[in-house]
């Protein structure tokens, strides 16, 4: 088995802001000569920060899908809609492509992000990471698609604006939308705080 070569083993460190590579120096105040950002061998408290954000997002994921995301008041009815009820309504109205898109972007993708990030944190914490290359690619994919989880929040905001302008009904945002937005933001912050180089460090120790 070939040895895993990492930056610290070669005496190199990378600036996480501008991606500049420079020689590692045993100095806590090392700064990048290009962008003057403080440089660390690894992101400080990466696992603790990511784990806390993922745990908080996982707790909020339940009310985000159980509580209604919006309330619609018309002359004939008052309705509370959750994310899943919105998907079902779209499917019953014949908008299957939109229903599938909302289902994956608002329910499946956040759940997969929580599972992947949680598994990465646990694996690195245990110091045993298998297939780090594949896990690194999976992490980058999760980091890339995370922004599309805001689709449901954007849809609710657009619907509220359109309905209020046309004065056909009254649409108000419910706590479920706030919980869902918090889940998306927290998972994005968790992905940003996680240092994927820890995967290779754990693989080297293993």
Residue with tokens 């329910």: 107
What is the percent of the chain where pLDDT is above 90?
Answer: 14
Judged against a pLDDT cut of 50, whether residue 1 lies above it is answered with: no
**Residue whose C-alpha is closest to residue 156's, from 171, 170, 169:** 171
Domain tally for the chain?
A: 2
Rounded CA gap, 154 and 85, in Å? 17
pTM: 0.77
Same domain, 168 and 67: yes
Phi and psi, residue 72, nearest 5° = -110, 125
Same domain, 37 and 50: no
Query: Are 150 and 184 a contacting pair, CB within 8 Å?
Result: yes
Same domain, 11 and 107: no
**Residue whose C-alpha is closest to residue 107's, from 168, 173, 180:** 180
Rounded CA gap, 53 and 98, in Å? 30
Same domain, 199 and 115: yes
Same domain, 37 and 49: no
How much is the pLDDT for 61? 93
Identify the domain containing residue 33 by its residue range. 1-41
Same domain, 75 and 158: yes
Same domain, 111 and 127: yes
pLDDT tens for each residue of 44-60? 888 999 999 999 999 99
CATH number at residue 177: 1.20.140
Same domain, 102 and 143: yes
Q: Which residue has the higher pLDDT, 183 or 147?
A: 183
Same domain, 83 and 183: yes
pLDDT tens for each residue of 111-123? 889 999 999 998 8
Same domain, 107 and 137: yes
pLDDT tens for each residue of 80-94? 778 888 788 778 877
Q: Which residue has the higher pLDDT, 22 or 115?
A: 115
Same domain, 16 and 117: no
Same domain, 162 and 194: yes
């Amino acid at each position: 088995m070939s040895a895993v070569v990492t930056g610290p083993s070669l005496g190199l460190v990378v600036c996480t802001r501008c991606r500049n590579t420079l020689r590692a120096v045993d100095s806590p105040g090392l700064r990048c000569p290009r962008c003057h950002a403080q440089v660390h061998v690894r992101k400080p408290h990466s696992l603790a920060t990511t784990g806390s954000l993922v745990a908080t997002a996982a707790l909020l994921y339940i009310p985000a899908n159980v509580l209604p995301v919006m309330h619609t008041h018309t002359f004939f009815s008052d309705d509370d809609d959750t994310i899943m009820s919105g998907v079902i309504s779209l499917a019953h109205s014949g908008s299957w492509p939109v229903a599938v898109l909302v289902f994956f972007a608002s329910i499946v993708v956040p759940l997969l992000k929580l599972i992947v990030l949680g598994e990465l944190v646990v694996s690195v914490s245990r110091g045993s990471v298998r297939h780090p290359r594949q896990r690194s690619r999976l992490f980058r994919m999760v980091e890339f698609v995370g922004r599309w989880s805001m689709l449901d929040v954007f849809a609710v905001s657009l619907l509220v604006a359109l309905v209020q302008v046309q004065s056909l009904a009254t649409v108000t945002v419910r706590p479920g939308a706030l919980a869902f937005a918090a889940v998306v933001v927290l998972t994005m912050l968790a992905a940003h705080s996680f240092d994927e180089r820890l995967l290779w460090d754990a693989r080297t120790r293993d």
